[in-house]
Amino acid sequence: MGRGRPERSGTVIRVAIAGGSGYAGGELLRLLLAHPDAEVAQVTSERFAGKFVHRTHPNLRGLTRLKYVPLGELSSCDLLFSCLPHGASARHIDLFLANAERVIDLGADFRLGDVGEYERFYGEPHPRPGLLGRFVYGIPELNRDALRSTSLVACAGCNATVSILALRPLFLEQVAKSAVIEVKVGSSEAGNRASEASHHPERSGAMRSYKPTGHRHLAEIRAVLNGRDAVQAGAAVAITAGGAAAGSEARTPAPLPHIHFSATAVEMVRGILATCHVFLREDLDEKDLWRIYRRAYADEPFVRIVKERTGIHRYPDPKLLAGSNYCDIGFERDPHARRVVVMAAIDNLMKGAAGQAVQAFNIMHGLPERRGLEFPGLHPA
């Protein structure tokens, strides 16, 4: 047990982390070591097997004596988090299911429910297509009820998370005609494996458009915002085929909006800022927009509306969210066009990965959603 750990509040939930040496794995380990209801039994890494976990996550030095083990030495646990690279979770899913009652995958292998969309965006057939519909898409703000009863979760991509949370209220209300999303992302999104693009002389000071079209996360964004059941047939996505909120008054289905996405790398380690240009079907004023976003997020523990009249912090800023599980959302109506600019920010390693996974973990076990996720971020940072 780590020093300074909060007193446990109930039954201990034994967890394992597959692929824990990366950035998302390190954040997940940091959160779980301090979680009052979780006990980290194992963390795997092929490269660092036999080494202490603080070898790759020096911020955890003195908090745990855990050592990495090879994936083949996994033993039984209550829940397994997979932080493996793309494709690896699908290859090892049978091993995971043999050792854990529940699995939360932070990777992309099981996010899409449509085999054709997977092949289109990932360039190869899915290795385990029969499992796609069994995973719940892991954005709690969409699929909270489904998360309570599932044993399999596919966490959303970080760019998809911030984009979906930014735009979902407008799509639920069927007021969006089209949207153009531009995300600016920090270097940690690319993972901890060195590359030519991450080499310091190349990355430092850069503002590099690296995926102006065809980003893989666009498949998730379109599937959710267009209300298709392509995202996890068993996930009870809270949007009907017509785009209206499930359980809401029936509305005549509007034509599916066009959604476009681009990504730019900037000189920042953590964080994503999404700037979304939404072209409206009808005129809306500021009060209309406030009502739409309040209806969607008034009771959400990790979504905040950030829209001040003055000051340098009047809109979302990912720098303020480092280490936190919040998604901050702001918006501004263009007075000269039928356009709304929606801005949203997250820490890509938290609400875009490890924090969202722990939030899903809490929901699956009937725990308060904020458990282990209370850190508010730093200012200044």
Catalytic residue annotation: 158
Closest CA to 112 of 220, 217, 216: 220
Residue 68, strand partner residues: 43
Q: Give the contacts of 255 (CB within 8 A, at least 6 positions apart).
A: none
CA torsion sign for 214, 321, 187, 135 is: negative
CA angle 302, 163, 314 (to 5 degrees): 60
Work out the burial of residue 341: count CB atoms within 10 Å of its CB; fewer than 13 is exposed, 13-18 middle, 19 or more buried. middle
CB contact at 8 A, 272 and 168:
no
Closest CA to 17 of 8, 28, 1, 5: 28
What backbone torsions phi and psi does residue 248 show, to the nearest 5 degrees? -85, 175
Residue corresponding to tokens 């008034």: 298
Closest CA to 24 of 105, 137, 121: 105
Q: How many Å apart are CA 363 and CA 220, to the nearest integer?
A: 22
**If residue 354 lies in a helix (H) or strand (E), which one and from where to where?**
helix 354-364
Q: Give the contacts of 139 (CB within 8 A, at least 6 positions apart).
A: 156, 161, 164, 165, 224, 356
No. of H helices and E strands in the chain? Answer: 9, 14
350 vs 30, 161, 215, 259, 280, CA distance in Å?
11, 11, 21, 25, 31
What backbone torsions phi and psi does residue 346 show, to the nearest 5 degrees? -145, 165
CB contact at 8 A, 363 and 145:
no
User: Strand runs (DSSP E) across the chain, as ranges?
Assistant: 13-18, 38-44, 68-69, 77-82, 100-105, 136-137, 152-154, 176-185, 208-211, 258-265, 272-280, 303-305, 327-333, 339-346
